[in-house]
Amino acid sequence: MAEGGQRARAKLQSISINGGLLQLQQELSTGDFVEIAFHTQAGRICGMAEMLHPTRKYQSACLQPFRFIALGDDDHRKLRMALDSALDRSFLDSSPERLPTAPRF
């Protein structure tokens, strides 16, 4: 929810412990404070974020980063759990065939 109580739907493109990247139909003003809520395997995460300058603009959408400015302790814990789980899955999904091998001498 943006300042002024307006709601906007977005697709979460990426997430980190510090913020993330949203795909929006219309960009939000840089510096706007928004409430962001999304679901993970660890549960629902809700926090306050500051919108940053859009990185890409398309005719029907834009990619806009944000940074978290306030997360409750429980939301921070769930975010860390979700990120750790994603990292574990990424590591486990890497098969030896896809990993680069060192040259043999």
Confidence of residue 86 (pLDDT cuts 50, 70, 90): confident
pLDDT of residue 105: 44
Per-residue pLDDT at 96 exceeds 70: no
pTM of the shown model:
0.76
Please give the Cα distance from 59 to 40 (Å, whole number).
29
Q: How far is CA 41 from the centre of its chain?
A: 14
Per-residue pLDDT at 81 exceeds 80: yes
pLDDT tens, position by position, 9-48: 899 999 999 999 999 998 999 999 999 999 988 899 999 9
Please determine, looking at this structure, whether the domain spanning 3-92 carries the CATH number 2.40.110.10: no
Per-residue pLDDT at 78 exceeds 50: yes
Write down the residue that tokens 């809520």 correspond to. 37
What are the start-end ranges of the E strands in the chain?
Answer: 10-15, 19-24, 33-40, 43-51, 56-57, 62-71
pLDDT tens, position by position, 2-11: 556 678 889 9
